[in-house]
Amino acid sequence: MDSVEPRGLIAVDKMGGKVLFLDPDNYRTTLVLDDFEAVPHELLCLPSAATAYVPIYGDGIHGRNPNPGHLLSVVDLKTRRHTADIDLSPHVAPHGLQLGPGGLIYVTCENSGVVALVDPVGLKVTDAIAAGSTNCHRLVIAPDGRHLYTENEEDASVSVIDLEARALVRQIATPHALAGLAISSDGRVLVAVDDAEPQLVLIDTQSCAVFATVALEGVAEPAQIARFSPDGATLVVTSLRSATATVMDGTLSRQTTLAVGLQPMDMAFRDGALFVACQGDGSVHVIDLASRRVAHRFDAGVGCETLAFF
C-alpha cells in the first residue's frame, strides 16, 4: 500500500457515468469529470504515481453486458484530468484490477475470460492470461506477488493463476456462486463472498480448499464486496441487497452490522474511518471504526460504486 498522506478522495460515479473528486473533510464534490465512455466501473488509485485507472466496463451489468467496453481510462491526480485511454482490445468488459509484479496492472476482462496485463508507462497491453471463466469479475493478488485469484461469480469457483508462469494452475470449487473476494494480509486465507447465502467462504491458499464458512450476523440477504483494511486488522463486507456494512476484526471473530445507504458497494479506509459508497441513493456513509458506528452521511453524484484516497 502507498504511504502518501491522503490529500483527496476520488470516486467512480457508476450510475452517473462520471468520476468525482471529493473533499473528505467537508464532504463536498470539488470536481466532476464527465468525458468517459460508457460505463466507468471500479478504480485503481496509485497515489505515489499520482494516477488513477478506471475500467470502462460497458453499458450493462455482470451477466448482461451486450456492449462491453475495451478501455482502461487514465486520470492524472495532480491535474485532475482524464488524460488517456488504454485500448485493451481484443479483450473486453474490464472490471477488477490491481497493481502487481513488474509494476504491471492486472485487469479481469470478464467477457473475454482473461486477465490482461497492462504496462502503465507504455499505456499498452503486454500479455493476457486465461482465467478459465467468462464470469471472472474481481481479483486479488497475494501479498508475495506469486499468485493471482479471480472469483468467477456464477461458476462458483476461484481461479488460481501463477504470475511467474503466467498460467492458470487450478480452480477451487465453492459451495455457491460468488460476489466478492479478499485476501488476508499474510496471504494465507481467501475470503470469498457467498452470493446465495449471507455468509463468507474461507479458503486456505496453501491447500486451495474451503475450510470454513462464517455467517454474517444481522444481514438478511447475501453480501457483495469484502475488503481488508491496509493493516489487515479489519474486514468490511457490504450487502447490496441488505443495505448493510458488516465490520469484522481481522480474525473474523467479532462482527458488527450497520445500516447504511441503498446498494452499498466498495469502500475506502482512512485514519480510523471507513467511507462506504452506496450506488442506490447517491450517498457515502462514513463509519467510525473504533466505535463501529455511522458517524456521517453525505451525497456524492448519482450513485458511486468505488472510491479511494490519494
**Grid coordinates in use for 198?**
449471507
| Distance in angstroms (rounded) separating the CA atoms of residues 131 and 261 | 34
Question: pLDDT tens for residues 215-255?
Answer: 999 999 999 999 999 999 999 999 999 999 999 999 998 99
CA atoms within 13 A on the CB side of 193: 27
Rounded CA separation 96/192 (Å): 15
d(CA 50, CA 196): 39
Task: Record the pTM.
Answer: 0.95
267 and 289 in contact (C-beta within 8 Å)?
A: no
Q: What is the DSSP letter of 104?
A: P
* Confidence at residue 42, expressed as pLDDT on a 0 to 100 scale: 97
Contact between residue 159 and residue 133 where contact means Cβ atoms under 8 Å apart: yes
Locate the domains of the chain by residue range.
Answer: 35-215
- Strands 234-239, 114-119: pairing is unpaired
Does pLDDT of 5 surpass 70? no
**From edge to edge, which strands make up the β-sheet containing 157-162?**
138-141, 147-151, 157-162, 167-173
pLDDT at 4 over 50: no
Do 182 and 235 contact (CB within 8 A), yes or no? yes
Positive or negative, the CA dihedral 125, 187, 185, 277 is positive
| 56 contacts 65 by C-beta, under 8 angstroms | no
Task: Give the per-residue pLDDT at 6.
Answer: 53
The per-residue pLDDT of the chain, averaged, comes to: 96
Q: What are the pLDDT digits (tens) for 105-121?
A: 999 999 999 999 999 99
Give tens-digit pLDDT for 52-109: 999 999 987 887 888 899 999 999 999 999 999 999 999 999 999 999 999 999 999 9
Distance separating alpha carbons of residues 21 and 15, to the nearest angstrom: 16
Q: Which residue bears the cell 486451495? A: 208
| Kind plus residue range of the DSSP H or E element containing 275 | strand 273-278
35-215 topology per CATH? Methylamine Dehydrogenase; Chain H (2.130.10)
**% of the chain beyond a pLDDT of 90:** 94
Q: Is residue 161 a contact partner of residue 171, using CB atoms and an 8 Å limit?
A: no
Rounded to whole angstroms, the Cα distance separating 134 from 1 reads 29
